[in-house]
Structure 1
Amino acid sequence: MKAFFEGIEDLFVNYLFSPYDFFRFMENWWTSNVVNWLFFIIGMVAFVYWMLELKKYNDRGEEDKSITSHSYL
């Protein structure tokens, strides 16, 4: 099992997080956190889009909201 967890460590440290090593040595806080801000903005846009889609389906009344819609209820 030790080799398995070392393999996971190697995957993340040496491959998946390697682009962040470039940002670690930058002096400016704003420049080093551009990636985080971009992920935040993309996440917020996706969240707003998804909420608008849910509202659209809710306004149309397409969802079956009856109590007997599922057998386990």
Structure 2
Amino acid sequence: MAQVALAWVLKNPVVDSVLSGATKAHHLADAVAALDIDLSEDEVTALEAGYVPRAPTYLHLVRARTPPAIGVVSADARVNA
């Protein structure tokens, strides 16, 4: 299953890098074997079928530190002028 996960990451254009830790020799062999897996579009669709996008858990911290632009309606529907 790790090989399929890594193959998906390699095929996904929005992923820039992978942090993969190998504590045993077979972990490294699995990671390298992912290079030989070419997922079809149907397989990628099936893998992503259950995925529900969500905001990062830290997003509320970013929003709290970033002042809204002048004249833009913020998430809580106040106009900042």
Q: Relative to total residues, which structure has the larger helix share, 1 or 2? A: 1
In the superposition, the TM-score normalised over structure 1's length comes to 0.25
Higher relative contact order (CA 8 A, sep 6+): 2
In the superposition, the TM-score normalised over structure 2's length comes to 0.24
* Larger CA Rg, structure 1 vs 2: 1
